[in-house]
Structure 1
Amino acid sequence: MIYYPYLRGRQFDLAALSTFTETATPNVVPIIEPVRDVPALPKLLSRAHQNGQSLAVIKNPQVDHYNYQAAKRYPIDDLFRFSEIKPAYILTPLLPSEQLENSLVIVQHYADLKLFIDHDWLPNSATILAPPEARIRRLLAGRNFGHLFDHYQVPDHSADFSRLTDSFFSNDWQFAEQYGETGFSDYLTQGAPYFERGHASRTVTLHLIYLSNQQIRIRHFVSDQHEDFKHQREKYFEALAKAVAWINTLSPVNQTPATAQLLQLADEHHFPGMGVLKSLTIQHHLTIMSRYMQCEGNA
């Protein structure tokens, strides 16, 4: 069973993955959909190769402008020669089928998958990630496939997270086993929608997952102030104080290097910026999911 966390190649995504790839985790293979032509991406891929950590990189990204830049300042094509750097594609009707051999194929729409199946364009060597729909599972019977699902449900207003501070996040391993899947994927606590530029929020919210009885649950820590878009620093400390109180109650299995850094930020009364906070929540997520995979694999 493989976990495929799906990330975009934003600065904080790449920073989190740089930390994650310091040691190899065989049953976690992050997917990167590049969005910027930046030096951090080839550096990350080289680092992953050196440390033996597999990554999948989408070669036809569908968000932002990366795919439309003919000449890259920081090319990555040469890095696919390394076995740790795996090609991935988002399935589209015009995608050449010969590119899909031994690749990771991400299905977004049933109609696209049916087109490729009906015309025998989908090679058996491909690993497929698709929405968890019964009609899709029927099409993929006998193939190497898993499901991709967005577990991060966002209310209309971030302040509404304060009404439900703790909720179920996923039990993907059990779901995948039930349907004979070989892996699963999600968008972590970032969500599937992509925005080219960040936008201010009336609240500052931290989202941290944790293990509980073979499930992944999630806690939301919301700032008290939410009347306007001002005072982001003060709102951050309000949310962080709530997170720290909870982190101090956790058993060791749910404490991570990222939560230790959050405790240190609170002790130092330091606001590092929202990008660093997002990177820390991603690092925490990857560590907890690595432990989840290990626990379920040994069960």
Structure 2
Amino acid sequence: MYFPFLRGKQNELFAINELNFLIKESQKVTPIIEPVNLNSTTRRILPEINNSGVPFVLIVNPQTGDLSNKGYEIYSPLLEVFENKNIVSLGYFITESTSISELEQVMNFYKEFSFSFIYIAVNYNILNFIEGSKEKRDIDYHIFQDGKVSNSFSNSFKQFNRVIIKDCFNRLSRNADYQSAEYYSDLICVYRPDFFGFGDYQVIGSGTGGGGPAHAVALHLTYKNSPESNEIWIRHFVSDDKEGTSNVQGKYFQALSKLVEFLNEYNNTPETIGAKQFRDNLADGVFHQLGFPKKLSVKHHIELMIQLLEPDN
């Protein structure tokens, strides 16, 4: 089972919504969405995703963005318009300071929803709460961010549905510094039997910020490295023009030409909707700003995971 972690920005939400039919049909994907705001786009797209029948984890205590440190009650109007409340799991970050009373309050406030816990720190007090509440409340998933908790801590939850999330994207401070290709992840091969599912941050990474205007445009595409293995690699396509911050459109199409050339020559990776849309964009020559290729890369990566997962996973 694949759990893509998305920060809830506009193009990430668009990617999920535009793949809703494929995600629902596959029954292999449960997105984890950490909203960065509750603007009009978020309030429109999240109900559309839910109403299409896509299951997802919606985090109600974001740690980043405009909604960090806001009360979980602010999500109530949004959740009220969801048609399929039974397929939404409310996610809650567990930190070292999360208390049992805090969890009881939020779970009592949203009694009609099940919950999932995302562990970004070790907190053994939560084990007592889990053991005491498992007969009373539905807890769908225990999600562990790789590198944030110990193996011994996550192993304490072996009787539950455990998910491992790893940031596999090697983000560089300058687009011009990306090289041709590098290893991305083999979680799809190794997450079983210890974990129920696995997840990543696609080609975005777990970082929250972006720098100023880039001197080079870099596009990123994941792919299957060889016919014999499901090991995933990532290729970076950097514009030839790396000077100044102007000519963004020209730089984009320089990078896009390289990406499409790779798609046309490399046969190990299955065709995806995102890949086709990259080809179409090169053909039509329309520049949609740089959020657009990020959306296509996310769509491609999620569909790639769907295609590579075994039918019983």
| TM-score normalised by structure 2 residue count | 0.83
Structure 1 residues 50 and 102, CA gap change in structure 2 (3 angstroms): closer
Aligned equivalents of 1:155 and 1:8: distance in 2?
A: 19
Q: Residue 110 of structure 2 aligns with which residue?
A: none
Range 213-222 or range 18-27, more displaced: 18-27
Q: Residue 268 of structure 1 aligns with which residue?
A: 284
Q: What pairs with 1:190-229 in structure 2 (closer than 5 Å)? A: 190-195=204-209, 199-212=212-225, 213-229=229-245
- CA contact 1:148–1:185 (8 Å) conserved in 2: yes
- CA contact 2:217–2:255 (8 Å) conserved in 1: yes
**Which residue, 109, 130, 139 being the options, matches 2:144?**
130
- Residue deviations 1:137-169 (CA, integer Å, cap 9, x gap): 33333332121110001234322213xx12221
Q: What pairs with 1:163-242 in structure 2 (closer than 5 Å)? A: 165-178=180-193, 180-195=194-209, 199-212=212-225, 213-242=229-258
Q: What pairs with 1:5-24 in structure 2 (closer than 5 Å)? A: 5-23=4-22, 24=24
1:35 shift after superposition: 0.9
Structure 1 residues 217 and 73, CA gap change in structure 2 (3 angstroms): closer
Question: Structure 1: 5+ residue runs without aligned partners?
Answer: none
Aligned equivalents of 2:16 and 2:145: distance in 1?
A: 25
- CA contact 1:58–1:88 (8 Å) conserved in 2: yes
Q: Secondary structure at the match of 2:58?
A: strand
- Residue deviations 1:271-295 (CA, integer Å, cap 9, x gap): 11101111111111111111122xx
Range 225-234 or range 124-133, more displaced: 124-133
Which aligned runs of 4 or more in structure 1 are off by greater than 4 angstroms?
67-74
1:204 shift after superposition: 0.6
Structure 1 residues 177 and 68, CA gap change in structure 2 (3 angstroms): closer
Q: Structure 2: which amino acid aligns with 1:20?
A: L
- Residue deviations 1:43-83 (CA, integer Å, cap 9, x gap): 33332333321111101111112255679699313146611
Question: Structure 2: 5+ residue runs without aligned partners?
Answer: 108-112
- CA contact 2:223–2:268 (8 Å) conserved in 1: no
Range 165-174 or range 241-250, more displaced: 165-174
Q: Residue 124 of structure 2 aligns with which residue?
A: 114
Q: Secondary structure at the match of 2:165?
A: strand
Aligned equivalents of 1:298 and 1:155: distance in 2?
A: 36
Q: Pairwise CA RMSD of aligned residues? A: 2.5
- Residue deviations 1:178-227 (CA, integer Å, cap 9, x gap): 4x2101121111110102x6632121111111123211221111112223
Q: Secondary structure at the match of 2:36?
A: coil
Q: Secondary structure at the match of 2:2?
A: strand
Aligned equivalents of 2:273 and 2:302: distance in 1?
A: 11
Q: Residue 27 of structure 1 aligns with which residue?
A: 28
Q: Structure 1: which amino acid aligns with 2:232?
A: I
Q: Structure 1: which amino acid aligns with 2:13?
A: L
- CA contact 1:56–1:86 (8 Å) conserved in 2: yes
- CA contact 2:224–2:268 (8 Å) conserved in 1: no
Aligned equivalents of 2:89 and 2:118: distance in 1?
A: 13
Q: Secondary structure at the match of 2:153?
A: helix
| TM-score normalised by structure 1 residue count | 0.86
**Which residue, 70, 87, 97 being the options, matches 1:84?**
87
Range 98-107 or range 20-29, more displaced: 98-107
Q: What pairs with 1:21-100 in structure 2 (closer than 5 Å)? A: 21-23=20-22, 24=24, 25-67=26-68, 75-79=77-81, 82-92=85-95, 93-94=97-98, 96-98=102-104, 99=106
Q: Secondary structure at the match of 1:17?
A: helix
